[in-house]
Chain A
Amino acid sequence: MDTTEIRTQIKEVIANATSIDVADIADNSSFEDDLGLDSLTLLEIAVDVDHIFKLNIPDEELSERLQHLRTVQDSVDLVVNHRSHKNVGV
């Protein structure tokens, strides 16, 4: 799965968690400022992304990761980095 596909899937996750149209989610949209998401929604997005991409982020790390998840791009980077780190193909 390339970065574009990852980005598309993540935008769908965000759309499901927020009822915001995928078309209205820009690559660099900020979760809080642009999309108006609260902490609970952000957590749900992180959990869904973890589930879909099988990141297996331990709970102990999740809290910290959430602090750095500010934009759509941050979540794409999270997936890309995690997958390359684990040498996951496709």
Chain B
Amino acid sequence: MNRRVVVTGAGIISPLGDSPQAVFSSICEGRSALGDVTLFSTDLMDGAQAGEIKDFLPQPYLGKKNFRPLDRTGRLTAAAVQMTLDNSGWTVEMREENLVGLILGTMFGGLHTIAEFDRLGLTAGPKFVKPLDFANTVINAASGQTAIWHTLRGVNSTISTGGSASLQALAYGMDLIRSGRSDVLVSGGTDELCFESMYGFYRAGMLAGSISGQSACSTPFDIQRNGFATSEGAAFTLLEDHQFAVDRGVSTQAEILGYGSGYDYSQGKDENIAVKARAQAIQVALDDARLTADQIDIVSASANGSKLNDRYEAMALLRCIDLENVPVMAVKSSLGDSLGASGAMQVVLLIEAMKQSLSPGIQTMSKADPDFSMLENNIQNRPVEIRYALANAVSADGNCCAVVLKNISDE
């Protein structure tokens, strides 16, 4: 079976807003998600900035309910999934009648909950750890909680491949529908901002400005880049079998045509292997979509300001795509890196780019590396008619995923 997979709804919660249009506009206006962190102290991190969803509360999205069972990751997930279900018209009644799946990409799950659970056990003794928190120490907790919250009884899976997680989740979900195993599912990702992960990145010298003496530059592809800025959020798309969507009379936004994935087994240490793995994923995605590279109208890059990874991605794209002429958007320039959620954010914003025929600029970029200086063409917003788009997501250690989308809003 080889069914067509379409997107009929999307939802996003990010430091730059909670609708695809709002986030897209913010990026086009050159706004940044990065700021001082209020969730925890960054004193140990030289006051590094991050993308925090300030004053996030689940009630405006989910109503007045008991939220104790959900931690921040669970709340972000449930809230973003609610919006996705709403704007694709999947009511509670319909979810009770049909098996709607949920594929969640996340790098850490509820890491803060895991750590707090453990620390309470150390300080108060194992007798007093919290049962409700234990339920959230499994990495698939948010997926399970959200399924309960929204009556999602189809395939429930969690994908953790680092920064590529929610794009891998989309690919996984696409395969389930394409093969006939599922008719409809929500696919996307969530990662929360927390001390444990941010400090971990800082200790490894991966955050922009975490090597002493450098001022932070987390601009993708910029020649001055010295690391990324962590962020948080959740983003989802509603995927359906095309015929199913047509039969229920809902408008379709985009079609997922194909994907490719692979692994840089040098884990960033060997440029040849790193670039090859990324390029292979992109080529397989194009082949799967039955397209040639010259048909791609826009690329959404994974780049986040990492010295090496941005280079590897650029060099891989150079092998396949005409970067002189094809716009490249790199939303982490504005949003920061929301890790497991980032791939889904890229897709949601790509769909918005399709609607608005506009590629948001990488406005903080001044100059790119000489090897890919043509990417400087993307500093400003670029009008572009988009029929086919390529989304690329790569984790810090080289887990690559590329997805090809088609604009079918005119079908």
A 48-70 binary contact with B (CB < 8 Å = 1; else 0): 10110000000100000000000
CB-based contact A51/B66 at 8 Å: no
* Complex contacts, B122 vs chain A, CB 8 Å: none
Of A26-34, A36-44, A71-79, the stretch lying at the interface with chain B is A36-44
- The residue in chain B whose Cβ has the minimal distance to the Cβ of A62 is B127
A47-B128, A47-B130 known; A41 vs B68 contact (CB < 8 Å): yes
Out of A18, A40, A48, which one reaches B135, CB within 8 Å? A40
* Complex contacts, B124 vs chain A, CB 8 Å: 51
CB-based contact A51/B68 at 8 Å: no
CB-based contact A43/B131 at 8 Å: yes
CB-based contact B66/A40 at 8 Å: no
CB-based contact A19/B65 at 8 Å: yes
Chain A interface helix/strand/loop/mixed: helix
CB-based contact A19/B131 at 8 Å: no
| B246 close to chain A: CB less than 8 A | no
A47 to B130, CA, bound (A): 7
* Complex contacts, B67 vs chain A, CB 8 Å: 19
- The residue in chain A whose Cβ has the minimal distance to the Cβ of B130 is A44
* Complex contacts, B200 vs chain A, CB 8 Å: none
| B69 close to chain A: CB less than 8 A | yes
- The residue in chain A whose Cβ has the minimal distance to the Cβ of B120 is A51
* Complex contacts, B128 vs chain A, CB 8 Å: 47-48, 50-51
| B92 close to chain A: CB less than 8 A | no
CB-based contact A18/B68 at 8 Å: yes
Q: How far is the CB of A13 from chain B (nearest CB, A)?
A: 11
Tell me which of A50, A51, A59 has the highest count of chain B C-beta atoms within 10 A of its own C-beta. A51
A50 to B128, CA, bound (A): 8
Q: Which of B17-61 contact A (CB under 8 A)?
A: none
| B94 close to chain A: CB less than 8 A | no
| B132 close to chain A: CB less than 8 A | yes
A44 to B135, CA, bound (A): 11
Q: How far is the CB of A69 from chain B (nearest CB, A)?
A: 14
A84 to B128, CA, bound (A): 22
CB-based contact A18/B66 at 8 Å: yes
CB-based contact B132/A40 at 8 Å: yes
* Complex contacts, A59 vs chain B, CB 8 Å: 127
A51-B124, A51-B128 known; A19 vs B68 contact (CB < 8 Å): yes
A41 to B65, CA, bound (A): 15
Out of B65, B66, B127, B131, which one reaches A44, CB within 8 Å? B131
* Complex contacts, A48 vs chain B, CB 8 Å: 128, 130
A59 to B126, CA, bound (A): 11
CB-based contact A40/B65 at 8 Å: no
A40 to B69, CA, bound (A): 9
- The residue in chain A whose Cβ has the minimal distance to the Cβ of B65 is A19
- The residue in chain B whose Cβ has the minimal distance to the Cβ of A36 is B66
Tell me which of A18, A41, A44, A47 has the highest count of chain B C-beta atoms within 10 A of its own C-beta. A44
* Complex contacts, A8 vs chain B, CB 8 Å: none
Which 7 pairs between the two chains have the least Cβ-Cβ distance? A19-B66, A51-B128, A43-B131, A44-B131, A44-B132, A18-B66, A40-B131
Known: A20-B66, A47-B131, A48-B128. 9 other contacts (CB 8 A): A16-B68, A17-B132, A19-B68, A40-B132, A44-B131, A47-B128, A47-B129, A51-B127, A51-B128
Q: Could you pull out 19 A-B pairs where Cβ atoms are within 8 angstroms?
A: A16-B68, A17-B68, A18-B66, A18-B68, A19-B65, A40-B69, A40-B131, A40-B132, A40-B135, A41-B68, A41-B132, A43-B131, A44-B130, A44-B131, A47-B127, A48-B130, A50-B127, A50-B128, A51-B128
Which positions in B face A, CB cutoff 8 Å?
65-69, 124, 127-132, 135
